[in-house]
Protein backbone atom coordinates (compact mmCIF):
# COMPACT_ATOMS: atom_id res chain seq x y z
CA UNK A 1 0.00 0.00 0.00
CA UNK A 2 2.72 2.61 0.81
CA UNK A 3 4.32 1.95 -2.59
CA UNK A 4 1.02 2.69 -4.39
CA UNK A 5 0.53 5.82 -2.30
CA UNK A 6 4.04 6.99 -3.11
CA UNK A 7 3.50 6.33 -6.81
CA UNK A 8 0.39 8.52 -6.76
CA UNK A 9 2.41 11.34 -5.22
CA UNK A 10 5.22 10.87 -7.73
CA UNK A 11 2.72 10.91 -10.59
CA UNK A 12 1.03 14.08 -9.35
CA UNK A 13 4.37 15.81 -8.87
CA UNK A 14 5.57 14.73 -12.30
CA UNK A 15 2.37 16.05 -13.90
CA UNK A 16 2.82 19.43 -12.21
CA UNK A 17 6.50 19.65 -13.13
CA UNK A 18 5.99 18.75 -16.79
CA UNK A 19 2.96 21.04 -17.21
CA UNK A 20 4.78 24.02 -15.69
CA UNK A 21 7.90 23.44 -17.78
CA UNK A 22 5.76 23.02 -20.88
CA UNK A 23 4.03 26.34 -20.31
CA UNK A 24 7.35 28.16 -20.02
CA UNK A 25 8.61 26.52 -23.21
CA UNK A 26 5.35 27.21 -25.03
CA UNK A 27 5.60 30.91 -24.25
CA UNK A 28 8.92 30.93 -26.12
CA UNK A 29 7.59 28.70 -28.90
CA UNK A 30 4.64 31.06 -29.48
CA UNK A 31 7.20 33.57 -30.82
CA UNK A 32 8.68 31.14 -33.38
CA UNK A 33 8.42 31.95 -37.08
CA UNK A 34 6.91 29.58 -39.62
CA UNK A 35 10.25 28.36 -40.95
CA UNK A 36 11.40 27.36 -37.48
CA UNK A 37 8.12 25.60 -36.69
CA UNK A 38 8.27 23.62 -39.91
CA UNK A 39 11.94 22.73 -39.51
CA UNK A 40 11.32 21.38 -36.00
CA UNK A 41 8.23 19.40 -36.98
CA UNK A 42 9.93 17.89 -39.99
CA UNK A 43 12.87 16.82 -37.85
CA UNK A 44 10.51 15.13 -35.39
CA UNK A 45 8.54 13.44 -38.15
CA UNK A 46 11.70 12.09 -39.76
CA UNK A 47 13.05 10.83 -36.44
CA UNK A 48 9.81 9.00 -35.65
CA UNK A 49 9.63 7.52 -39.15
CA UNK A 50 13.18 6.21 -38.87
CA UNK A 51 12.28 4.42 -35.62
CA UNK A 52 8.84 3.19 -36.75
CA UNK A 53 9.75 -0.50 -36.79
CA UNK A 54 11.49 -0.48 -33.40
CA UNK A 55 8.63 1.46 -31.81
CA UNK A 56 6.11 -0.95 -33.30
CA UNK A 57 7.98 -3.89 -31.81
CA UNK A 58 8.17 -2.17 -28.42
CA UNK A 59 4.43 -1.47 -28.47
CA UNK A 60 3.62 -5.09 -29.26
CA UNK A 61 5.98 -6.47 -26.62
CA UNK A 62 4.75 -4.16 -23.87
CA UNK A 63 0.99 -4.42 -24.50
CA UNK A 64 0.71 -7.86 -26.09
CA UNK A 65 -1.65 -6.35 -28.67
CA UNK A 66 -1.63 -6.63 -32.44
CA UNK A 67 1.07 -7.29 -35.01
CA UNK A 68 4.51 -5.58 -34.92
CA UNK A 69 4.60 -5.10 -38.70
CA UNK A 70 1.19 -3.42 -38.67
CA UNK A 71 2.20 -1.21 -35.76
CA UNK A 72 5.22 -0.15 -37.79
CA UNK A 73 2.89 0.81 -40.65
CA UNK A 74 0.77 2.89 -38.26
CA UNK A 75 3.87 4.64 -36.93
CA UNK A 76 4.94 5.43 -40.49
CA UNK A 77 1.47 6.75 -41.24
CA UNK A 78 1.46 8.89 -38.07
CA UNK A 79 4.84 10.40 -38.88
CA UNK A 80 5.10 10.71 -42.66
CA UNK A 81 1.50 10.85 -43.91
CA UNK A 82 0.24 13.04 -41.08
CA UNK A 83 3.18 15.42 -41.56
CA UNK A 84 2.62 15.55 -45.34
CA UNK A 85 -1.01 16.51 -44.70
CA UNK A 86 -0.15 19.48 -42.44
CA UNK A 87 3.30 20.66 -43.53
CA UNK A 88 1.94 23.37 -45.83
CA UNK A 89 -0.68 24.63 -43.36
CA UNK A 90 0.16 28.16 -42.18
CA UNK A 91 0.14 28.38 -38.41
CA UNK A 92 2.10 31.59 -37.79
CA UNK A 93 1.11 35.21 -38.40
CA UNK A 94 -1.47 36.22 -41.01
CA UNK A 95 -3.05 33.06 -42.39
CA UNK A 96 -5.95 34.55 -44.34
CA UNK A 97 -7.43 37.72 -45.80
CA UNK A 98 -11.00 38.32 -46.93
CA UNK A 99 -10.92 41.52 -48.97
CA UNK A 100 -14.70 41.57 -49.49
CA UNK A 101 -15.47 41.30 -45.78
CA UNK A 102 -12.33 43.25 -44.75
CA UNK A 103 -11.13 40.60 -42.31
CA UNK A 104 -7.57 39.57 -41.57
CA UNK A 105 -7.06 36.19 -39.87
CA UNK A 106 -4.07 35.69 -37.55
CA UNK A 107 -2.97 32.32 -36.14
CA UNK A 108 -2.69 31.93 -32.39
CA UNK A 109 -1.74 28.81 -30.39
CA UNK A 110 -4.09 27.23 -27.86
CA UNK A 111 -1.32 26.78 -25.27
CA UNK A 112 -0.44 23.57 -23.43
CA UNK A 113 -2.16 20.39 -24.58
CA UNK A 114 -2.67 17.45 -22.20
CA UNK A 115 -2.73 14.43 -24.52
CA UNK A 116 -4.16 11.13 -23.27
CA UNK A 117 -3.13 8.18 -25.45
CA UNK A 118 -4.50 4.60 -25.63
CA UNK A 119 -2.92 1.20 -25.15
CA UNK A 120 -4.19 -0.05 -28.51
CA UNK A 121 -2.29 2.42 -30.73
CA UNK A 122 0.17 3.89 -28.24
CA UNK A 123 3.21 4.99 -30.23
CA UNK A 124 1.40 6.02 -33.40
CA UNK A 125 -1.13 8.15 -31.49
CA UNK A 126 1.65 9.87 -29.54
CA UNK A 127 3.62 10.64 -32.73
CA UNK A 128 0.56 12.08 -34.44
CA UNK A 129 -0.52 14.20 -31.47
CA UNK A 130 2.94 15.68 -30.97
CA UNK A 131 3.11 16.73 -34.63
CA UNK A 132 -0.32 18.38 -34.81
CA UNK A 133 0.21 20.16 -31.48
CA UNK A 134 3.69 21.56 -32.12
CA UNK A 135 2.83 22.57 -35.70
CA UNK A 136 0.21 24.92 -34.21
CA UNK A 137 2.86 26.31 -31.76
CA UNK A 138 1.42 24.51 -28.76
CA UNK A 139 3.24 22.58 -26.08
CA UNK A 140 2.19 19.03 -25.29
CA UNK A 141 2.43 16.69 -22.30
CA UNK A 142 1.49 13.10 -23.09
CA UNK A 143 -0.18 10.92 -20.45
CA UNK A 144 0.07 7.35 -21.77
CA UNK A 145 -2.07 4.38 -20.87
CA UNK A 146 -0.42 2.55 -17.92
CA UNK A 147 0.11 -0.67 -19.90
CA UNK A 148 1.87 1.24 -22.69
CA UNK A 149 3.88 3.82 -20.80
CA UNK A 150 7.31 2.52 -21.81
CA UNK A 151 6.81 2.46 -25.58
CA UNK A 152 4.85 5.72 -25.53
CA UNK A 153 7.57 7.48 -23.54
CA UNK A 154 10.19 6.24 -25.98
CA UNK A 155 8.24 7.57 -28.98
CA UNK A 156 7.89 10.98 -27.33
CA UNK A 157 11.54 10.99 -26.23
CA UNK A 158 12.71 10.38 -29.80
CA UNK A 159 10.61 13.25 -31.09
CA UNK A 160 11.54 15.66 -28.30
CA UNK A 161 15.24 14.96 -28.79
CA UNK A 162 14.99 15.58 -32.55
CA UNK A 163 12.88 18.69 -32.08
CA UNK A 164 15.20 20.24 -29.52
CA UNK A 165 18.20 19.57 -31.76
CA UNK A 166 16.36 21.49 -34.49
CA UNK A 167 15.63 24.51 -32.28
CA UNK A 168 12.58 23.60 -30.17
CA UNK A 169 12.65 24.84 -26.54
CA UNK A 170 13.35 22.07 -24.01
CA UNK A 171 10.21 20.96 -22.19
CA UNK A 172 7.80 21.79 -25.03
CA UNK A 173 7.23 18.07 -25.71
CA UNK A 174 7.23 15.58 -22.84
CA UNK A 175 5.66 12.37 -21.56
CA UNK A 176 4.74 11.19 -18.09
CA UNK A 177 6.41 8.02 -16.81
CA UNK A 178 4.93 7.64 -13.31
CA UNK A 179 1.38 6.98 -14.50
CA UNK A 180 -1.55 6.75 -12.10
CA UNK A 181 -5.15 7.90 -12.28
CA UNK A 182 -4.42 10.66 -9.77
CA UNK A 183 -1.44 11.83 -11.79
CA UNK A 184 -3.40 11.96 -15.03
CA UNK A 185 -6.18 13.86 -13.27
CA UNK A 186 -3.59 16.30 -11.89
CA UNK A 187 -2.26 16.90 -15.39
CA UNK A 188 -5.71 17.54 -16.86
CA UNK A 189 -6.65 19.91 -14.03
CA UNK A 190 -3.35 21.80 -13.94
CA UNK A 191 -3.65 25.56 -14.37
CA UNK A 192 -1.04 25.55 -17.16
CA UNK A 193 -3.08 23.17 -19.34
CA UNK A 194 -5.34 24.87 -21.87
CA UNK A 195 -6.93 21.91 -23.66
CA UNK A 196 -7.28 18.14 -23.26
CA UNK A 197 -6.94 15.85 -26.28
CA UNK A 198 -8.12 12.39 -25.20
CA UNK A 199 -8.12 9.20 -27.23
CA UNK A 200 -9.14 5.95 -25.57
CA UNK A 201 -11.95 4.10 -23.86
CA UNK A 202 -15.21 5.57 -22.60
CA UNK A 203 -14.06 6.08 -18.97
CA UNK A 204 -10.99 8.03 -20.11
CA UNK A 205 -13.01 10.26 -22.41
CA UNK A 206 -15.65 10.93 -19.74
CA UNK A 207 -12.89 11.88 -17.32
CA UNK A 208 -11.43 14.30 -19.86
CA UNK A 209 -14.78 16.01 -20.32
CA UNK A 210 -15.43 16.25 -16.58
CA UNK A 211 -12.51 18.43 -15.44
CA UNK A 212 -13.98 21.76 -16.52
CA UNK A 213 -11.51 22.50 -19.33
CA UNK A 214 -11.97 22.50 -23.11
CA UNK A 215 -11.62 18.90 -24.29
CA UNK A 216 -11.59 16.99 -27.54
CA UNK A 217 -12.44 13.43 -26.58
CA UNK A 218 -13.09 10.42 -28.76
CA UNK A 219 -14.14 6.98 -27.64
CA UNK A 220 -15.43 3.71 -29.06
CA UNK A 221 -16.82 2.92 -32.47
CA UNK A 222 -19.11 -0.03 -33.25
CA UNK A 223 -18.57 0.16 -37.01
CA UNK A 224 -20.96 -1.72 -39.30
CA UNK A 225 -20.05 -2.62 -42.88
CA UNK A 226 -22.93 -2.99 -45.34
CA UNK A 227 -22.37 -4.99 -48.53
CA UNK A 228 -25.00 -4.19 -51.13
CA UNK A 229 -26.16 -6.42 -54.00
CA UNK A 230 -24.51 -3.90 -56.34
CA UNK A 231 -21.08 -4.34 -54.71
CA UNK A 232 -17.92 -5.84 -56.13
CA UNK A 233 -18.32 -8.78 -53.78
CA UNK A 234 -14.84 -10.33 -54.11
CA UNK A 235 -13.21 -6.95 -53.39
CA UNK A 236 -15.58 -6.29 -50.50
CA UNK A 237 -14.77 -9.64 -48.95
CA UNK A 238 -11.02 -9.11 -49.24
CA UNK A 239 -11.28 -5.58 -47.83
CA UNK A 240 -13.36 -6.65 -44.84
CA UNK A 241 -11.11 -9.55 -43.82
CA UNK A 242 -7.88 -7.62 -44.41
CA UNK A 243 -9.16 -4.62 -42.48
CA UNK A 244 -10.45 -6.68 -39.55
CA UNK A 245 -7.21 -8.67 -39.35
CA UNK A 246 -5.02 -5.52 -39.55
CA UNK A 247 -3.15 -5.21 -36.24
CA UNK A 248 -5.71 -7.63 -34.80
CA UNK A 249 -8.51 -5.05 -34.99
CA UNK A 250 -7.34 -2.46 -32.43
CA UNK A 251 -8.15 0.62 -34.55
CA UNK A 252 -11.53 2.02 -33.45
CA UNK A 253 -12.73 2.34 -37.06
CA UNK A 254 -12.32 -1.38 -37.78
CA UNK A 255 -15.38 -3.21 -39.07
CA UNK A 256 -17.27 -4.84 -36.19
CA UNK A 257 -20.27 -6.42 -37.91
CA UNK A 258 -21.03 -7.28 -41.53
CA UNK A 259 -24.53 -6.57 -42.84
CA UNK A 260 -24.92 -8.53 -46.08
CA UNK A 261 -27.64 -7.94 -48.66
CA UNK A 262 -29.50 -11.24 -48.99
CA UNK A 263 -28.91 -11.89 -52.73
CA UNK A 264 -25.11 -11.78 -52.31
CA UNK A 265 -24.81 -13.12 -48.75
CA UNK A 266 -23.76 -16.66 -49.73
CA UNK A 267 -21.20 -15.36 -52.22
CA UNK A 268 -19.82 -12.97 -49.62
CA UNK A 269 -19.40 -15.80 -47.12
CA UNK A 270 -17.53 -17.89 -49.64
CA UNK A 271 -15.27 -15.03 -50.71
CA UNK A 272 -14.49 -14.05 -47.12
CA UNK A 273 -13.59 -17.68 -46.44
CA UNK A 274 -11.00 -17.54 -49.22
CA UNK A 275 -9.24 -14.75 -47.33
CA UNK A 276 -9.20 -16.45 -43.95
CA UNK A 277 -12.64 -15.89 -42.41
CA UNK A 278 -13.88 -18.80 -40.29
CA UNK A 279 -17.51 -19.18 -39.17
CA UNK A 280 -17.88 -20.48 -35.63
CA UNK A 281 -20.71 -22.77 -34.56
CA UNK A 282 -23.17 -22.01 -31.77
CA UNK A 283 -21.07 -23.66 -29.06
CA UNK A 284 -17.91 -21.84 -30.14
CA UNK A 285 -19.84 -18.57 -30.34
CA UNK A 286 -21.05 -18.92 -26.76
CA UNK A 287 -17.48 -19.62 -25.62
CA UNK A 288 -16.22 -16.53 -27.44
CA UNK A 289 -18.93 -14.38 -25.87
CA UNK A 290 -17.79 -15.47 -22.40
CA UNK A 291 -14.12 -14.92 -23.27
CA UNK A 292 -14.53 -11.47 -24.85
CA UNK A 293 -16.94 -9.81 -22.43
CA UNK A 294 -17.73 -9.64 -18.73
CA UNK A 295 -21.38 -10.08 -17.68
CA UNK A 296 -21.75 -6.27 -17.51
CA UNK A 297 -20.68 -5.96 -21.16
CA UNK A 298 -17.20 -4.60 -20.55
CA UNK A 299 -14.37 -5.89 -22.74
CA UNK A 300 -12.02 -8.48 -21.29
CA UNK A 301 -8.57 -6.84 -21.67
CA UNK A 302 -7.00 -10.26 -22.26
CA UNK A 303 -8.97 -10.58 -25.50
CA UNK A 304 -7.92 -7.24 -27.01
CA UNK A 305 -5.74 -7.30 -30.11
CA UNK A 306 -5.35 -11.07 -30.31
CA UNK A 307 -5.14 -13.49 -33.23
CA UNK A 308 -7.98 -16.00 -33.71
CA UNK A 309 -5.70 -18.76 -32.46
CA UNK A 310 -4.97 -16.95 -29.19
CA UNK A 311 -8.65 -16.12 -28.78
CA UNK A 312 -9.47 -19.78 -29.27
CA UNK A 313 -7.06 -20.73 -26.48
CA UNK A 314 -8.63 -18.10 -24.24
CA UNK A 315 -12.13 -19.41 -25.01
CA UNK A 316 -11.22 -23.08 -24.77
CA UNK A 317 -12.03 -23.89 -28.39
CA UNK A 318 -10.01 -24.97 -31.44
CA UNK A 319 -9.68 -23.19 -34.79
CA UNK A 320 -7.42 -23.95 -37.77
CA UNK A 321 -4.05 -22.26 -38.12
CA UNK A 322 -4.98 -20.54 -41.40
CA UNK A 323 -7.79 -18.50 -39.82
CA UNK A 324 -7.35 -14.72 -39.80
CA UNK A 325 -10.82 -13.65 -38.59
CA UNK A 326 -13.57 -15.40 -36.63
CA UNK A 327 -17.16 -14.75 -37.74
CA UNK A 328 -20.41 -15.38 -35.85
CA UNK A 329 -23.91 -15.30 -37.35
CA UNK A 330 -26.14 -12.95 -35.34
CA UNK A 331 -29.89 -12.46 -35.27
CA UNK A 332 -30.13 -9.29 -33.22
CA UNK A 333 -28.37 -6.30 -31.70
CA UNK A 334 -28.12 -5.50 -27.99
CA UNK A 335 -27.17 -6.91 -24.63
CA UNK A 336 -28.56 -10.33 -25.49
CA UNK A 337 -26.14 -10.52 -28.43
CA UNK A 338 -22.70 -9.74 -26.96
CA UNK A 339 -20.89 -10.09 -30.28
CA UNK A 340 -22.93 -7.20 -31.68
CA UNK A 341 -20.79 -4.92 -29.48
CA UNK A 342 -17.49 -3.30 -30.41
CA UNK A 343 -14.84 -6.05 -30.41
CA UNK A 344 -11.25 -4.81 -30.31
CA UNK A 345 -10.06 -8.16 -31.58
CA UNK A 346 -10.38 -10.49 -34.58
CA UNK A 347 -14.10 -11.34 -34.27
CA UNK A 348 -16.88 -10.18 -36.62
CA UNK A 349 -20.64 -10.36 -36.32
CA UNK A 350 -22.58 -11.30 -39.49
CA UNK A 351 -26.15 -10.28 -40.38
CA UNK A 352 -28.22 -10.93 -43.50
CA UNK A 353 -30.87 -8.40 -44.52
CA UNK A 354 -33.03 -8.26 -47.64
CA UNK A 355 -32.51 -4.92 -49.41
CA UNK A 356 -30.62 -1.76 -48.55
CA UNK A 357 -33.45 -0.28 -46.48
CA UNK A 358 -33.41 -3.25 -44.09
CA UNK A 359 -29.61 -3.12 -44.15
CA UNK A 360 -29.80 0.56 -43.32
CA UNK A 361 -31.93 -0.07 -40.26
CA UNK A 362 -29.61 -2.81 -39.02
CA UNK A 363 -26.60 -0.51 -39.38
CA UNK A 364 -28.37 2.21 -37.40
CA UNK A 365 -29.08 -0.30 -34.61
CA UNK A 366 -25.40 -1.25 -34.49
CA UNK A 367 -24.24 2.36 -34.41
CA UNK A 368 -26.63 3.23 -31.62
CA UNK A 369 -25.40 0.21 -29.64
CA UNK A 370 -22.04 1.78 -28.87
CA UNK A 371 -20.86 3.63 -31.97
CA UNK A 372 -23.05 6.69 -32.48
CA UNK A 373 -21.40 9.27 -34.68
CA UNK A 374 -18.23 7.32 -35.40
CA UNK A 375 -17.87 5.49 -38.73
CA UNK A 376 -19.64 3.21 -41.20
CA UNK A 377 -18.40 1.29 -44.24
CA UNK A 378 -20.42 0.57 -47.35
CA UNK A 379 -19.53 -1.57 -50.35
CA UNK A 380 -21.77 -0.73 -53.32
CA UNK A 381 -21.72 0.51 -56.90
CA UNK A 382 -25.24 1.95 -56.81
CA UNK A 383 -24.68 5.65 -56.13
CA UNK A 384 -28.24 6.15 -54.91
CA UNK A 385 -27.72 3.52 -52.21
CA UNK A 386 -24.38 5.06 -51.26
CA UNK A 387 -25.95 8.51 -50.98
CA UNK A 388 -28.88 7.15 -48.96
CA UNK A 389 -26.42 5.73 -46.45
CA UNK A 390 -24.52 9.00 -46.39
CA UNK A 391 -27.66 11.00 -45.72
CA UNK A 392 -29.32 8.74 -43.18
CA UNK A 393 -26.67 7.02 -41.06
CA UNK A 394 -25.70 8.53 -37.67
CA UNK A 395 -21.98 8.33 -38.50
CA UNK A 396 -19.60 11.09 -39.56
CA UNK A 397 -17.25 8.95 -41.65
CA UNK A 398 -18.94 6.98 -44.41
CA UNK A 399 -16.20 4.90 -46.03
CA UNK A 400 -17.06 3.69 -49.53
CA UNK A 401 -15.47 0.59 -51.10
CA UNK A 402 -12.40 0.60 -48.86
CA UNK A 403 -11.10 -0.74 -45.55
CA UNK A 404 -12.68 0.69 -42.44
CA UNK A 405 -9.28 0.90 -40.74
CA UNK A 406 -7.37 2.59 -43.54
CA UNK A 407 -10.29 4.60 -44.89
CA UNK A 408 -11.43 6.28 -41.68
CA UNK A 409 -7.93 7.38 -40.62
CA UNK A 410 -7.25 8.85 -44.07
CA UNK A 411 -4.68 6.31 -45.27
CA UNK A 412 -6.79 5.11 -48.22
CA UNK A 413 -9.28 7.98 -48.58
CA UNK A 414 -9.18 11.76 -48.79
CA UNK A 415 -10.23 12.53 -45.21
CA UNK A 416 -7.64 14.21 -42.99
CA UNK A 417 -4.95 11.74 -41.88
CA UNK A 418 -5.52 11.31 -38.14
CA UNK A 419 -5.60 8.82 -35.30
CA UNK A 420 -8.23 10.70 -33.29
CA UNK A 421 -11.61 10.36 -35.00
CA UNK A 422 -14.26 12.53 -33.40
CA UNK A 423 -17.89 11.31 -33.30
CA UNK A 424 -19.57 14.72 -33.11
CA UNK A 425 -22.42 15.61 -30.82
CA UNK A 426 -23.97 12.17 -31.37
CA UNK A 427 -20.98 10.58 -29.69
CA UNK A 428 -20.50 13.25 -27.03
CA UNK A 429 -17.67 15.15 -28.75
CA UNK A 430 -17.26 18.80 -29.71
CA UNK A 431 -16.26 17.93 -33.29
CA UNK A 432 -17.18 15.41 -35.96
CA UNK A 433 -13.83 15.72 -37.78
CA UNK A 434 -10.65 13.77 -38.01
CA UNK A 435 -8.66 15.89 -35.56
CA UNK A 436 -5.68 17.69 -37.08
CA UNK A 437 -3.51 20.73 -36.44
CA UNK A 438 -6.23 23.25 -37.36
CA UNK A 439 -8.32 21.99 -34.42
CA UNK A 440 -5.47 22.97 -32.09
CA UNK A 441 -5.13 26.45 -33.56
CA UNK A 442 -7.01 29.56 -32.46
CA UNK A 443 -7.66 32.35 -34.95
CA UNK A 444 -7.75 36.07 -34.23
CA UNK A 445 -9.76 38.22 -36.63
CA UNK A 446 -9.01 41.86 -37.38
CA UNK A 447 -12.29 43.28 -38.70
CA UNK A 448 -12.60 46.71 -40.38
CA UNK A 449 -15.80 48.71 -40.53
CA UNK A 450 -17.92 47.84 -43.56
CA UNK A 451 -20.97 50.01 -42.84
CA UNK A 452 -21.67 52.83 -40.39
CA UNK A 453 -23.84 51.95 -37.41
CA UNK A 454 -27.45 53.16 -37.81
CA UNK A 455 -28.31 56.69 -36.76
CA UNK A 456 -30.86 55.36 -34.27
CA UNK A 457 -28.03 53.73 -32.34
CA UNK A 458 -26.35 57.06 -31.62
CA UNK A 459 -26.95 58.97 -28.34
CA UNK A 460 -28.97 62.12 -29.10
CA UNK A 461 -27.02 65.40 -28.80
CA UNK A 462 -27.76 67.26 -25.51
CA UNK A 463 -29.82 70.46 -25.65
CA UNK A 464 -28.26 73.86 -24.83
CA UNK A 465 -29.47 73.84 -21.23
CA UNK A 466 -27.58 70.66 -20.55
CA UNK A 467 -24.29 71.72 -22.10
CA UNK A 468 -22.85 73.30 -18.96
CA UNK A 469 -23.43 70.16 -16.93
CA UNK A 470 -22.01 68.10 -19.79
CA UNK A 471 -18.89 70.28 -19.97
CA UNK A 472 -18.24 69.67 -16.28
CA UNK A 473 -18.21 65.94 -16.94
CA UNK A 474 -15.86 66.08 -19.94
CA UNK A 475 -12.15 65.30 -19.51
CA UNK A 476 -9.79 68.32 -19.47
CA UNK A 477 -8.38 69.67 -22.73
CA UNK A 478 -4.66 69.65 -23.57
CA UNK A 479 -3.94 72.98 -21.88
CA UNK A 480 -5.63 71.90 -18.67
CA UNK A 481 -3.75 68.57 -18.71
CA UNK A 482 -0.43 70.39 -19.11
CA UNK A 483 -1.25 72.59 -16.09
CA UNK A 484 -2.10 69.52 -13.99
CA UNK A 485 1.15 67.83 -14.97
CA UNK A 486 3.12 71.03 -14.12
CA UNK A 487 1.56 71.19 -10.64
CA UNK A 488 2.19 67.48 -9.92
CA UNK A 489 5.82 67.74 -10.99
CA UNK A 490 6.31 70.86 -8.85
CA UNK A 491 4.96 68.99 -5.80
CA UNK A 492 7.25 66.02 -6.44
CA UNK A 493 10.29 68.28 -6.75
CA UNK A 494 9.33 70.26 -3.63
β-bridge mates for residue 258, sequence order: 225, 350
Q: Is the pLDDT of residue 464 over 90?
A: no
**Cβ-contact 402, 410 below 8 angstroms:** no
Rounded to 5°, the CA angle 25-26-27 comes to 90
Q: How high does pLDDT run on average in the chain? A: 92
What's this model's pTM, rounded to 2 decimal places? 0.89
In whole angstroms, give the CA distance from residue 107 to residue 94: 6
In whole angstroms, give the CA distance from residue 152 to residue 306: 20
In whole angstroms, give the CA distance from residue 137 to residue 402: 34
Cα atoms found within 13 Å of the Cα of residue 367, Cβ hemisphere only: 27
**Cβ-contact 83, 42 below 8 angstroms:** yes
CATH of domain 2-219+436-444: 3.40.605.10
Q: What is the pLDDT of residues 401-429, one digit of tens each?
A: 999 999 999 999 999 999 999 999 888 88
Domain locations in the chain as residue ranges: 2-219+436-444, 223-413
Q: What is the pLDDT of residues 339-378, one digit of tens each?
A: 999 999 999 999 999 999 999 999 999 999 988 899 999 9
Q: What is the pLDDT of residues 122-174, one digit of tens each?
A: 999 999 999 999 999 999 999 999 999 999 999 999 999 999 999 999 999 99
Q: What is the pLDDT of residue 421?
A: 94
- Cα-atom radius of gyration of the chain, to the nearest Å? 28
> How much is the average pLDDT of 459-468?
60
Give the closest residue to 259 by CA, choosing from 300, 295, 294, 224.
Answer: 224
Q: What is the pLDDT of residues 219-232, one digit of tens each?
A: 778 999 999 999 99
Residues 6+ apart with CB under 8 A from 35: none
Active site residues: 252
> How much is the average pLDDT of 390-409?
95
Residues 6+ apart with CB under 8 A from 428: 205, 209, 217, 219
- Dihedral angle sign, alpha carbons of residues 8, 9, 13, 19: positive
Give the closest residue to 258 by CA, choosing from 327, 311, 155, 304.
Answer: 327
Q: What is the pLDDT of residue 470?
A: 47
Could you tell me the CATH superfamily of domain 223-413?
Aldehyde Dehydrogenase; Chain A, domain 2 (3.40.309.10)
C-alpha distances out from residue 126 to 58, 136, 191, Å: 14, 16, 22
> How much is the average pLDDT of 325-343?
96
Residue 257: what are its φ and ψ, rounded to 5°? -145, 135
Q: What is the 3-state secondary structure (H, E, C) of 242-276?
A: HHHHHHHHCCCCCEEEEEEEHHHHHHHHHHHHHCC
pLDDT confidence of 83, banded at 50, 70, 90?
Answer: very high
Amino acid sequence: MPEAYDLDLQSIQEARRLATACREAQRQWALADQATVDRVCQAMAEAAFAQAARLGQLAHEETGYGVPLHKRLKNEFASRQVWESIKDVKTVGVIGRDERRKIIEIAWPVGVIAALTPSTNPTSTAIYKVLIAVKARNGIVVAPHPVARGCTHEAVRIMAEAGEAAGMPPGLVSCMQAITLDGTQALMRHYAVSLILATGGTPMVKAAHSVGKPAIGVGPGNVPVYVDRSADVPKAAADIVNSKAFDCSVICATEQSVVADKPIAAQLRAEMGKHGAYWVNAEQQAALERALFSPDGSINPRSVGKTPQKLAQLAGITVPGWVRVLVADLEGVGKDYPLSREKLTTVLGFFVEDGWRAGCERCIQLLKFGGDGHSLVIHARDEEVIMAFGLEKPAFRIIVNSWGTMGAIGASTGVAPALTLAPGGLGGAISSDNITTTHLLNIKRVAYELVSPPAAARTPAPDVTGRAALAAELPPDDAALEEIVRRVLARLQG
